[in-house]
Amino acid sequence: MTRTAEGGPVSRVKGMLRRVEHTYAGDGGRPIRGYLVAMSAFAAYTTGWAVLVRRRGRPLPDRPVPWDVALTAVATFRLSRLLSKASVTSPLRAPFTTFVGPQGPAELHEEARSDDRKATVGELVTCPFCVSVWVASSLTAGQLLWPRATRTAMGALTALAGADALQLTYGALVDRTTGG
């Protein structure tokens, strides 16, 4: 039963959340409730993948294969940066962020919008470390459900990460030799 009247369970929980948020953040305005929603969404997302894997009868490996772990790590790194920093994916982030300026080769610096409803999502989508949790989970589920297609996509992302490293290395060598 969810009574919203003064003193009901819902209003008590909301009051507790406001007190925790204020005590934790002071005047910093950290969106604790938004983080709680994001964690709940991630739990639902991973639970959905787990249910799908189980319903399809896919066996879990006894232990991770080192090659798959390395491939997943590099693919997760590259896809997370592509989603959270690349110029070309800025339309996906735009509803939740504000453009600040360029940040490194082909990357942008964006900040989360201050609107409470969009702040948490803005922080999530501009943080490659935050996005990587979702990406790694998705790639892991993909390996269990569609191993060949997922490994092919991860191979392409890994090749892209290698190409990026070579481009940056080449640029640094040109700058070093030409004094630019």
What is the tens place of the pLDDT at every residue in 30-64?
A: 777 888 889 999 999 999 999 999 999 988 899 99
pTM here is: 0.84
Closest by alpha carbon to 79, among 140, 152, 150, 158? 158
Locate 169 and state its tokens. Answer: 């290395």
pLDDT band at 15 (very low <50, low <70, confident <90, very high): confident
Q: Is the pLDDT of residue 28 over 80?
A: no
The rounded distance, in Å, linking the Cα atoms of 119 and 24 is: 17
Q: Residues near 130 by Cβ (< 8 Å), separated by ≥ 6?
A: 84, 123, 124
Report whether 122 contacts 113 (CB < 8 A): yes
The rounded distance, in Å, linking the Cα atoms of 34 and 115 is: 11
3-state secondary structure (DSSP) of residue 170: helix
Q: Residues near 24 by Cβ (< 8 Å), separated by ≥ 6?
A: 30, 32
pLDDT band at 106 (very low <50, low <70, confident <90, very high): confident
Give Dmax over CA atoms of the chain in angstroms: 72
Mean pLDDT to the nearest integer, 134-144: 97
pLDDT at 56: 94
The rounded distance, in Å, linking the Cα atoms of 107 and 174 is: 20
